[in-house]
């Protein structure tokens, strides 16, 4: 069964610190992987997209990595800010022609001053 | 550009009542989706429309119907609301379904409470 698992479920860090969120998937065949940020009470917003051949993709203080061999991705947040407090969702697209999106349950990040 | 808009923002229904959630996008996207989000669970796909004129069931379609009114609009109807349908509903759109051009853009959500 195609699945996307994220860890940790929740995380609390101090402002200015770095953190790394994990995403493991069993989706096959694989098309691409996206990370979304969802602020409380809002819809998710795309941060990055990575295809099979890409290992690293950055968007400001957000850096995503992908290891297609081990089917793992991570999202690294550098010098965290209070505004980084949100849920981060990993979404994998199937490459079978249906192109369905498989969503993880997200990691809830809280950044404290 | 407004992106993806949803109405209403919040709704309270009694069991058995019906309602339609409206969604519109102004990005000329081909594909549109309806999701529900419940605490502790990921977004779950209710219905989707890969292109104008087509609709397909997602993961949790029971109790819902959809209409792709035109390229811009995709509505979700609850014929007889049940407390289990209490949730936050998100509409999304993408240029195409899946692939590198398939980034989804989400609306602000509709919070539905069924008593």
The predicted structure's pLDDT at residue B101: 79
The distance of A71 to chain B (nearest Cα, Å) reads 18
Cα separation, B110 vs B17, in Å, equals 17
pLDDT in tens, A52-61: 888 999 999 9
Quick check: A30 pLDDT over 90?
A: no
Per the CB < 8 A criterion, the answer to whether B68 and B74 are in contact is: yes
Q: How confident is the model at residue B39 (pLDDT cuts 50, 70, 90)?
A: confident
Q: Do A43 and B109 touch (CB under 8 A)?
A: yes
The better pLDDT of the pair A96, A37 is held by A37
Structure tokens at A84: 């980084």
Q: Using CA coordinates, name the residue in chain A closest to B36.
A: A43
Cα separation, B92 vs B47, in Å, equals 11
User: What is the distance, to the nearest Å, from the Cα of residue A64 to the centroid of all Cα atoms in its chain?
Assistant: 7
Q: How confident is the model at residue A97 (pLDDT cuts 50, 70, 90)?
A: low
pLDDT in tens, A1-12: 779 999 999 999
Structure tokens at B51: 């292109």
Bridge partner list, B22: B7
Q: Do A43 and B102 touch (CB under 8 A)?
A: no
DSSP assignments along A74-97, one per residue: EEEE-S--GGG-EEEEEEEEE-SS
Quick check: A98 pLDDT over 70?
A: no
Q: What is the mean pLDDT of chain A?
A: 93
Interface probe, candidates A7, A101, A103, A107, chain B, greatest B C-beta count within 10 A: A101
Let me know if B48 is exposed, middle or buried by CB neighbors in 10 A (0-12, 13-18, 19+): buried
Q: Using CA coordinates, name the residue in chain A closest to B106.
A: A43
Integer-rounded Cα radius of gyration of chain B:
13
Average pLDDT over residues B25-29: 96
Q: Which of A88-102, B58-72, B84-98 has the lowest mean pLDDT?
A: A88-102
Q: Using CA coordinates, name the residue in chain A closest to B107.
A: A43
């Amino acid at each position: 069964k195609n699945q996307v698992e994220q860890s940790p479920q929740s995380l609390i860090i101090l402002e200015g610190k770095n953190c790394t969120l994990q995403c493991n998937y069993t989706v096959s065949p694989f098309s691409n992987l996206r990370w979304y940020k969802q602020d409380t009470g809002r819809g998710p917003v795309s941060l990055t997209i990575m295809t099979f051949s890409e290992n690293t993709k950055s968007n400001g203080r957000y850096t995503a990595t992908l290891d297609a061999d081990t089917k793992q991705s991570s999202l690294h947040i550098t010098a965290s800010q209070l505004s980084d407090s949100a849920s981060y969702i990993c979404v994998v697209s199937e490459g079978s022609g249906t192109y369905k999106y498989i969503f993880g349950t997200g990691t809830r990040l809280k950044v404290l001053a | 550009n407004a992106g993806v808009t949803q109405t209403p923002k919040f709704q309270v229904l009694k069991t058995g009542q019906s309602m339609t959630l409206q969604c519109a996008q102004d990005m000329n996207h081909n594909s549109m989706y309806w999701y529900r989000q419940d605490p502790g669970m990921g977004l779950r796909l209710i219905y989707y429309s890969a292109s104008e004129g087509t609709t397909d069931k997602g993961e949790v379609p029971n109790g819902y119907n959809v209409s792709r009114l035109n390229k811009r609009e995709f509505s979700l109807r609850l014929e007889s609301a049940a407390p289990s349908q209490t949730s936050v509903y998100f509409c999304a759109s993408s240029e195409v379904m899946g692939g590198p051009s398939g980034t989804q853009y989400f609306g602000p959500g509709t919070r539905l409470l069924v008593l």
